[in-house]
Structure 1
């Protein structure tokens, strides 16, 4: 099929070349021979009047024109892929569908572990791939490389629909033998202690509690910063350090570590944990079912 003189199949070749930076690997990805892929590249170059990719050493590098064009082509192709891949019905008892969910290790413990235990009974063929959040999470959702993004409300994309999964309290966590818990932790105790904080990805995005505390204007003594919630207890147990973590997570990790927790010693907002999905897939029966299951599991674990 041609659109304004362009064979639309060439867009698939273009995308593969931009992703792999190699004619050989692009050919393998799309199931063409290397000569056929090279011929397609020549046609792409002729149509756009640009080299598209150029050889530098042993690798091919995109031209500035190709880099600017690629996101638009990629978004178009992913939109088509979503449109033709979305099933009209979904039967969890027989489905072998794989869902990709972006969520922190906290979400794994609070929702996804019991969710997958449930799937073993009601949807044994369904598979779940869990991806830790990073600075590319929104782009992964946008490009249909993820089905759902589970994140606090403050980190949602403005362009796609979302719905609340649950609301969560934040609590102060420390070693069970720390005397501040026996006597009742105060605001002064909180700020006098050393703290463990959590940040995600290469951009070092702080967790909800830590970003909220930083906006409150009073400095803490941050002694350790970790890249996941599951890492925090290792730097708390046996020390005087504190951390502010999600109550659901703390209830689980306290079974494995000698920890105590208490309410925040000053007013602190609850966190709205949200599910976000691509607007084009809002009616996907499988994703509608998945979101319903996640909300039900979250309600039971609250």
Structure 2
């Protein structure tokens, strides 16, 4: 008798006990061809709260493994916490598959919903074939947990025919990036970049990484992901290293040359320099309409009178 369901195992044990086929659990184990642990767990099904058993769409299909998982979760988290997790399903009269029920009891469904906060839980929220992005793959994993399609990385890997490592890394990368200031909600982080951040977390710890990200979110706003990685990795040149920066005119009329101590370092930030120069030029240059407006105001009688009055006040005339 292999993988006997708890209800059937308990029935056969009690029936055999009543008919005198065996007098002890050991005798029943030998006769039924099951282990002592399977029989013990099957008999403990009746001791579980009715709302937990009722959560399963087929209570008669509950296995000793499910009973063991439920008892371990209750021992770890407490019965009140477990009952609170399933309260919404119980009040709605929901019946879940064995996989989905166990995920709900263990709190995996709640954690998955929290991970998907603000991103939707529908099947169509993540397009099919979008597993190249860690965020998309992480969202597919969590939605599968909520829907009862799988309860762990291995089950997801089998269902999607993907590497378990990729799924695990995708979930870890997305959770880490969502916890860092400036990166929260970024969908463009690749596996290569994300795994570098996971390495930072392993080396420094989550708290130290968050503090560094909080600082860099102010001083490197708008920087590319590559530049931020350099900064996280301690490759940035300190301000004291840039003791002398000078801009001079080049040979051509369209050339400016930047002289500095670390040209190779500054070249990494050329896009940021270009944006900064454009911002300065916008403040320095005036449009033709603005110049015309100033000329019109200068030539009006009121402006001339106000200018003369101010000039006289300043010079005491």
- TM-score normalized with structure 2 length: 0.21
User: Whose radius of gyration is greater, 1 or 2?
Assistant: 2
- Which structure has greater helix proportion? 2
**TM-score, normalising length: structure 1:** 0.22
Larger relative contact order, structure 1 or 2 (CA cutoff 8 Å, min sep 6): 1
